[in-house]
């Protein structure tokens, strides 16, 4: 079915690829089907665990501790929030694992909404991912890189100027876009190589912290005083969870390889049960290490917590931490810019985004227009906001659609009851996960409403108008064909095939 045919349904809720889901049952049941058309189950438990850990540990742990502490107002409660974030991430990972098996199509959350709810919700998810969430993730990672880079290269005890952070962040985005445009293989290879730096940096911090613990520097960790001053307003914890859950982002990676897992019914819950606790231990030990050396006041005053910690504990070797963090964050940014445009690419092929976004460069075979679009939006966000404002802006939207994705688990069970599910979550898990998302949406709005939430709602409203006019209404601007042709020539791209 073509995109035009899909639009003629006028909001019928039948996604373009629904037939592919139904036909997949037939393929599974046909024992004579050639095995070469099926993905091979080659990913075992160890590799599945490695995938989750590698995706989750990124720039968040180097920037989020400050935000969590600021919102909770005590060392003890900040550690509790880090643990709760791990539990919530585990529930989300299990829901997405089932969704990945039921809808094994490119586009992830976009495809889940498309098949569970129909065209309009599917479009709104794609719009939010392309215009808000994905560019915001790139922008926040770039700001983290800019913060640590400027803090390291600019001497002095004062926080680096915002302009310096923005400059380094924008330059890093432009460099990584260039790398991604030249070669996906080079970009993915560098991402893997650089990811080792984050492990080294975190291990150095944890070991230094454990040494401090054995030396008796635990005054801020004493349970008798560590919870003093904790925030008493329940709704005020929304911002703490925004920061903590940002650091845990990446748990959804396993749903993209569900069909390639060996014994998924056993290995999916095991991989989640091993990887997320492992990341939780690393994050808790890292935070404990910070508090063995820095008081809560000192941590909140630091623009780059890991750098301040290194200066206090490592002496002449303090440079290891900022360099490791910068390399790690650069690798994380590489991965973000590599993966983010694929949503715009998939939505463009469905007719839910500009057609040119579904095109690939004829020489490099990269989705160049989608990559450039994501970079432009990310740079605009870097220029207009700081880390916390972008976090609130993007997280508010992300939990709307995460909640919808979690409920899609139950909806797809009703729509496709015969679809093979190598892994099924308990029915209470998506319900509880959705309730958490509702809290994450409402709590910050009630406790501390800011303009960032209004901006997010305005962009969602614009997305609704775009859908009604250009997708459902099938209107086309008179210059659209000429614009598509111009960008085809500019980027040397042509339509891609499924």
The pTM is what? Answer: 0.85
Fill in the DSSP letter of residue 478.
T
Fill in the DSSP letter of residue 416.
-
The answer on pLDDT for 36 being more than 80 is: no
Residue 38 counted as domain residue: no
- Of all residues in the chain, the percent with pLDDT exceeding 90 is 48
Give the burial class of 383: count Cβ atoms within 10 A of its Cβ; 0-12 exposed, 13-18 middle, 19 or more buried: exposed
Residue 35 counted as domain residue: no
The answer on pLDDT for 8 being more than 60 is: no
Residue 12 counted as domain residue: no
Domains contained in the chain, number? 1
Instruction: Please report, for the domain that includes residue 69, its CATH number.
Output: 1.20.1740.10
Q: Which of residues 113 and 14 earns the better pLDDT score?
A: 113
- Cα separation, 496 vs 479, in Å, equals 22
Residues 351/16, Cβ–Cβ less than 8 Å = yes
Could you tell me the maximum CA-CA distance found in the chain, to the nearest angstrom? Answer: 72
Residue 7 counted as domain residue: no
Q: Which domain holds residue 169?
A: 46-495
The answer on pLDDT for 256 being more than 70 is: no
- Cα separation, 362 vs 491, in Å, equals 9
Residue 425 counted as domain residue: yes
Return the minimum-mean-pLDDT range out of 180-184, 357-361, 424-428.
Answer: 180-184
- pLDDT tens profile 72-96: 999 999 999 999 999 999 999 889 8
Q: Which of residues 154 and 204 earns the better pLDDT score?
A: 204
- pLDDT tens profile 280-294: 999 999 999 999 999
- Cα separation, 234 vs 440, in Å, equals 12
Residues 124/465, Cβ–Cβ less than 8 Å = no
Element of type H or E holding 495: strand 493-495
Residue 70 counted as domain residue: yes
Residue 230 counted as domain residue: yes
Print burial letters for 163-189: b (CB count within 10 Å at least 16), e (below 16): ebbbebbbebbeebbebbbeebeebee
Return the minimum-mean-pLDDT range out of 191-205, 222-236, 374-388.
Answer: 191-205
Residue 36 counted as domain residue: no
């Amino acid at each position: 079915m073509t995109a035009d045919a899909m639009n003629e349904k006028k909001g019928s809720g039948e996604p373009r690829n629904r037939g592919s889901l139904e036909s997949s049952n037939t393929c599974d049941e046909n024992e004579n089907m050639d095995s070469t058309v099926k993905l091979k189950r080659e990913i075992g438990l160890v590799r599945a665990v490695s995938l989750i850990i590698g995706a989750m540990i990124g720039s968040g742990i180097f920037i989020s501790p400050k935000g969590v502490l600021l919102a909770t107002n005590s060392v003890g409660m900040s550690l509790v929030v880090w643990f709760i974030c791990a539990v919530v991430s585990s529930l989300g990972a299990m829901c997405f694992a089932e969704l990945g098996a039921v809808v094994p199509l490119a586009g992830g959350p976009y495809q889940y909404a498309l098949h569970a709810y129909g065209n309009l919700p599917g479009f709104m998810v794609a719009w939010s991912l392309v215009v808000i969430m994905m560019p915001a993730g790139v922008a926040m990672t770039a700001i983290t890189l800019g913060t640590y880079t400027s803090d390291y290269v600019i001497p002095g005890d004062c926080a680096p100027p915002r302009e310096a952070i923005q400059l380094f962040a924008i330059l890093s985005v432009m460099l990584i876009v260039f790398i991604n445009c030249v070669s996906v293989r080079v970009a993915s290879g560098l991402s893997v190589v650089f990811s080792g730096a984050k492990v080294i940096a975190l291990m150095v911090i944890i070991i230094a912290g454990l040494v401090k613990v054995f030396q008796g520097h635990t005054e801020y960790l004493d349970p008798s005083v560590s919870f003093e001053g904790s925030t008493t307003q329940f709704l005020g914890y929304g911002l703490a969870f925004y920061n903590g859950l940002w650091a845990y982002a990446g748990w959804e990676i396993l749903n993209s390889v569900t069909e390639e897992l060996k014994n998924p019914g056993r290995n999916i819950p095991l991989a989640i049960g091993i990887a997320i606790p492992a990341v939780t231990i690393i994050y808790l030990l890292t935070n404990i290490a910070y508090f063995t050396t820095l008081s809560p006041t000192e941590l909140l005053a630091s623009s780059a917590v890991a750098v301040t910690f290194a200066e206090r504990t490592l002496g002449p070797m303090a440079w290891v931490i900022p360099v490791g963090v910068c390399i790690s964050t650069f690798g994380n940014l590489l991965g973000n810019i590599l993966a983010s445009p694929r949503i715009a690419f998939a939505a463009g092929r469905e007719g839910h985004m500009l057609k040119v976004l579904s095109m690939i460069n004829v020489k490099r075979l990269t989705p160049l227009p989608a990559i450039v679009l994501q970079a432009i939006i990310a740079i605009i966000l870097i220029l207009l906001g700081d880390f916390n404002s972008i976090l609130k802006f993007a997280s508010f939207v992300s939990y709307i659609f995460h909640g919808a994705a979690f409920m899609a688990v139950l909806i797809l069970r009703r729509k496709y009851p015969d679809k093979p599910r190598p892994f099924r979550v308990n029915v209470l898990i998506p319900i509880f996960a959705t309730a958490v998302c509702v809290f994450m949406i409402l709590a910050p709005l009630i406790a501390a409403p800011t303009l960032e939430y209004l901006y997010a709602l305005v962009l969602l409203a614009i997305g609704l108008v775009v859908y009604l006019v250009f997708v459902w209404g099938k209107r086309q601007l008179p210059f659209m064909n000429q614009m598509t042709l111009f960008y085809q020539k500019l980027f040397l791209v042509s339509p891609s095939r499924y």
